[in-house]
Amino acid sequence: MPAFKKPTISPTILMLMIGLLAMSAISFFSNLGDVVPIPYSQFQTYLDAGKVKSVVVNGDSIRGTLTEAMPDGKTQFSTISVRPDLAAALAGRHVEFNGTATGGTFSTILSWVIPPLLFVGIWMFASRGMGGAGGMAGGLFSIGRSKAKLVTAETDIKVAFADVAGVDEAKAELHEIVDFLKEPVKFGRLGAHIPRGILLVGPPGTGKTLLARAVAGEAGVPFFSTNGAEFVEMFVGVGASRVRDLFEKARTSAPCIIFIDELDALGRARGASPMGGQDEKEQTLNQLLAEMDGFDRSAAMVVLAATNRPEILDPALLRAGRFDRQVLVDRPDKIGRVQILAIHTKKLSLAPDVKLEDIAALTPGFTGADLANLANEAAVLATRRGGENIAMADFTGAVERIVAGLEKKSRILIPRERRIVAYHEMGHALVARSIPGSDPIQKVSIIPRGIGALGYTIQRPTDDRFLMGLHELEDKMTVLMGGRAAETLLGQDISTGASDDLAKATDIARGMVLRFGMDKALGPVAWDTEQGQFLGQPGAFWQPRRFSDQTAHEIDQAVRTLLETALARAIGILSYNRAALDEGAESLLAHESLTADELPALRSPAIPATIAATEGRTI
């Protein structure tokens, strides 16, 4: 790829500047030599005495020759004339006087030419300096040029599909792109053409950028890497110019791959802004749409893009002919997490008790980036304790640190608060153990962690779940209400410790009523749609409500009923197992942390028959 040529001074301009400087020097030194400058009053004295032989008048300047030599032996002189009336007045009072030159034609030319030339020289020097500071993408002349980094696959890309795990379906989909780039003639023999664009969609940290680099590494072609935000500037037209420049460079390097990370920064739907208008972002997006729709089919160019907000992209980007394929790069399942952990622990020294399957079971919902961070945190903990290798306890501690936050043993609770936290956490643990099918308890602790957690209860799912039934959601709400139920049975004022539990339980209840149609009175109606499926952010606050006030009241009643039922169920379970609750809380106060084997035994049956009967369920 040709580098951007910095501005330089041409030889012609340089020679012209040198010539003008030489002429000005000649003009300056021409006054020196045998010509003696004399006052104008002295010239009038010589003129009145008849000693002036000849003169040459040029404006105010007078040069001449005397008939006899002056005291210094020279006969040529020069002087500057003075106004006649002023000269007469000065001469009448015997005052010596002289004039000053106003500049000739050549001096006037120099005064008009030299300053612009100096300005041009300074400007070109400054431009060269700015260009040197920013490389190819810097400088005043390169503001409209693309900032994409060209990575040579043969030397710079060391990533292959073997380095990516947990996304087997996405890798299989992208293998076709690699085959197209390697052998475009073979795959085009039946009329098939290479896809124009592939959009990688998924939550943050799942490996979208890593997959794009693996495609370039496997195909062995140049890889242009850029970010959607790099196209947008405050200057109108700069983004569109950078898009054009990027595709022009890519055409000269075909076959190649263009990778645009965070496409949502560039491809947000037009007209979505409340301000409206054709702003700079929309012009840049229009140029990208034109380039993707118009680049030559014969050129083996693939545009890869990644985003975790596909719901806000412009529909024109997603139509066939532009981003032909959308590849989901989702969070890995348990098998995928084992494969990812195998990659990230390859260079670590592991103890014999470490089993990747057990670590994968502890980390449901973790992305590839989370698992890489987990392996590093475990290595840090092992190094800190002075271990010879990384034990399973280090991985467990790393999971707790990532999920619950940093341990804060320096935070001292007063005895009353510490007792409330112990009952609260033991309430969660015992309710979870009482309900068949709930995730097993891994650990219960009253050691403060993170910003606001005064204690925590960790459950370990046995399987990855993608569907949940009505009863399972009710069980989750009951477990979340276990802390508030234990505080209620303690007989003291309920505390603020259940705030996070109530928020999570309320979200489950509202989802059951609003999105999943699980309330019999409201019927199988989706009163709300899920927003931000990958980032989990709430929907736009200006979105209009799609139901009446009466329905809103019924929704509130249904949500409240679900939460009150879950709380009543948790209170019933703990009341039936009050001895185990008291024993477990005392053990927590004594040891601060308990594992599943150290929890107290529950009465049989775990859930009273009266509670099961009122719910209409067989447990």
CB 250 within 8 A of CB 258: yes
Average confidence (pLDDT) over 370-388? 90
Task: Judge if 431 and 554 occupy the same domain.
Answer: yes
Domain holding 468: CATH number?
Answer: 1.20.58.760
Task: Judge if 358 and 314 occupy the same domain.
Answer: no
The Cα 571–Cα 369 span in angstroms is 40
The Cα 569–Cα 434 span in angstroms is 11
Residue 507, pLDDT score: 92
Task: Judge if 88 and 156 occupy the same domain.
Answer: no
Task: Judge if 437 and 485 occupy the same domain.
Answer: yes
Give me the sheet containing 76-80, strands edge to edge: 36-37, 76-80, 61-66, 52-58
- Residues 505-523 as b/e (b if ≥16 CB within 10 A, e otherwise) read bbebbbebbbebebbeebe
Task: Judge if 220 and 310 occupy the same domain.
Answer: yes
Task: Judge if 180 and 319 occupy the same domain.
Answer: yes
Report if residue 6 sits inside a domain.
Answer: no
Spatial neighbors of 537 by CB under 8 A, at least 6 apart, are 531
Residue 143, pLDDT score: 55
Q: Quickly state the pLDDT bin for 29 (edges 50, 70, 90).
A: low
Answer yes or no: is pLDDT of 15 > 60.
Answer: yes
Residue 26, pLDDT score: 61
Answer yes or no: is pLDDT of 597 > 70.
Answer: yes
The residues that are catalytic are 425
Average pLDDT along the chain = 77
Using one digit for the tens of pLDDT, what is the confidence trace for 280-299? 777 888 888 888 876 555 56
Q: Is 25 helix (H, G, I), strand (E, B) or coil?
A: helix
Using one digit for the tens of pLDDT, what is the confidence trace for 296-330? 555 678 888 988 888 888 888 888 878 878 888 88
CB 45 within 8 A of CB 87: no
Bridge partners (DSSP) listed for residue 457: 444
Domain holding 372: CATH number?
Answer: 1.10.8.60
Task: Judge if 77 and 169 occupy the same domain.
Answer: no
Helix axes 578-591, 549-576, angle to 10 degrees: 80
The Cα 183–Cα 175 span in angstroms is 12
Domain holding 248: CATH number?
Answer: 3.40.50.300
Q: Give 588 or 115, the one with higher predicted confidence.
A: 588
Q: Give 300 or 337, the one with higher predicted confidence.
A: 337
The Cα 431–Cα 482 span in angstroms is 6
The Cα 276–Cα 142 span in angstroms is 30
Q: Quickly state the pLDDT bin for 140 (edges 50, 70, 90).
A: very low
Task: Judge if 531 and 588 occupy the same domain.
Answer: yes
Task: Judge if 363 and 321 occupy the same domain.
Answer: no
Range of the domain at 379: 334-404
Using one digit for the tens of pLDDT, what is the confidence trace for 420-453? 899 999 999 999 999 988 888 888 888 887 666 7
Report if residue 70 sits inside a domain.
Answer: yes
Average confidence (pLDDT) over 355-378? 89
Which one of 79, 102, 125 terminates a domain? 102
Task: Judge if 323 and 211 occupy the same domain.
Answer: yes
Task: Judge if 373 and 447 occupy the same domain.
Answer: no
Bridge partners (DSSP) listed for residue 302: 257
Residue 110: how many other CB atoms lie within 10 Å: 17
Residue 592, pLDDT score: 85
CB 161 within 8 A of CB 236: no
Give the residue from 477, 565, 558 showing the smallest Cα distance to 523: 558
Report if residue 91 sits inside a domain.
Answer: yes
Q: Which of 133-147, 186-200, 265-279, 377-391 has the lowest mean pLDDT?
A: 133-147
Answer yes or no: is pLDDT of 539 > 60.
Answer: no
Residue 125, pLDDT score: 63
Residue 542, pLDDT score: 47
Report if residue 86 sits inside a domain.
Answer: yes
Report if residue 165 sits inside a domain.
Answer: yes
Domains held by the chain: number? 4
Q: Is 62 helix (H, G, I), strand (E, B) or coil?
A: strand
Instruction: Outline where 105-167 has alpha helix (H).
Output: 105-134
CB 494 within 8 A of CB 487: yes
